[in-house]
Chain A
Amino acid sequence: MATVDDLKFQEFDDAANLLAGNPDATTISIDEPSENPKNQYGLLQDSRREEDDELLGTDDSDKTELLAGQKKSAPFWTFEYYQTFFDVDTYQVLDRIKGSVFPIPGKNFVRLYIRSNPDLYGPFWICATLVFAIAISGNLSNFFIHLGKPAYRYVPEFRKVSIAATAIYAYAWLVPLALWGFLMWRNSKVMNIVSYSFLEIVCVYGYSLFIYIPTAILWIIPQKAVRWILVMVALCLSGSVLVMTFWPAVRDDNRRIALATMVTVVLLHALLAIGCLAYFFDAPDLNVLIPTAAAQNGTIVATKTQ
Chain B
Amino acid sequence: MAEAEESRAGGAAKPLFAGLSDVSISEDIPVEGEITVPVGSHSPDEDYSTLDEPVKDTIMRDLKAVGKKFVHVMYPKKSSALLRDWDLWGPLVLCVSLALMLQGGSADSKEDGGPQFAEVFVIIWFGAVVITLNSKLLGGTISFFQSLCVLGYCVLPLTVAMLVCRLVLLASSGTVSFIVRLVVVMAMFGWSTLASTAFLADSQPPNRKALVVYPIFLFYFIISWMILTFTPQ
Chain A residues near B (Cβ < 8 Å): 79, 82-83, 85-86, 88-91, 93, 121, 125, 128-129, 132, 136, 139, 153-160
Contact = CB atoms under 8 A, between A and B. Distances in A.
A88 B137 contact: no
Which of A88, A90, A91, A128 has the most CB atoms of chain B within a 10 A radius of its CB?
A90
Shortest Cβ-Cβ A-B pairs, 9 listed: A86-B137, A156-B229, A89-B207, A158-B115, A90-B210, A157-B112, A156-B114, A86-B138, A155-B112
A132 B226 CA distance: 11
A156 B230 CA distance: 7
Nearest to A121: B211
Nearest to B230: A156
A70 B210 CA distance: 29
B78 interface: no
28 contacts: A86-B134, A86-B137, A89-B207, A89-B211, A90-B207, A90-B210, A90-B211, A121-B134, A121-B137, A125-B214, A128-B215, A129-B218, A132-B222, A136-B225, A139-B229, A154-B231, A155-B110, A155-B114, A156-B114, A156-B226, A156-B229, A156-B231, A157-B112, A158-B114, A158-B115, A158-B119, A159-B112, A160-B112
B217 to A, nearest CB: 10
Given A155-B112, A158-B112, 14 more contacts: A83-B137, A86-B134, A88-B208, A91-B207, A125-B214, A125-B218, A132-B218, A153-B231, A155-B114, A156-B230, A156-B231, A157-B112, A159-B112, A160-B112
A88 B212 CA distance: 12
B215 A125 contact: yes
B139 interface: yes
Contacts of B209: 90
A215 B125 CA distance: 30
A136 B229 CA distance: 10
A128 B139 CA distance: 21
A202 to B, nearest CB: 16
Contacts of B225: 132, 136
Question: Interface residue tally of chain B, by bracket?
Answer: 20 to 34
A304 B231 CA distance: 39
A158 B137 contact: no
B113 A156 contact: yes
Nearest to A120: B137
A91 B218 CA distance: 19
Contacts of B114: 155-156, 158
A159 B109 CA distance: 14
B111 interface: yes
B220 to A, nearest CB: 12
A159 B207 contact: no
A129 B221 CA distance: 11
Interface string B80-117: 00000000000000000000000000000011111110
A297 B215 CA distance: 51
A156 B218 CA distance: 18
B137 A156 contact: no
Nearest to A85: B137
Contacts of B139: 83, 86
A159 B112 CA distance: 6
Contacts of A93: 211
A216 to B, nearest CB: 14
Given A89-B208, A90-B207, A90-B211, A155 B231 contact: yes
Nearest to B215: A125
Contact of A90 (B115, B119, B208): B208
Contacts of A82: 137
B186 to A, nearest CB: 15
Greatest chain B CB density within 10 A among A79, A136, A158 is at A158
A121 B119 contact: no
A82 B226 CA distance: 32
A90 B201 CA distance: 14
Contact of A128 (B112, B138, B218, B226): B218
A193 B111 CA distance: 53
Contacts of B134: 86, 121, 125
A236 to B, nearest CB: 27
A210 to B, nearest CB: 13
Given A83-B137, A139-B229, A158 B207 contact: no
Contacts of A85: 137
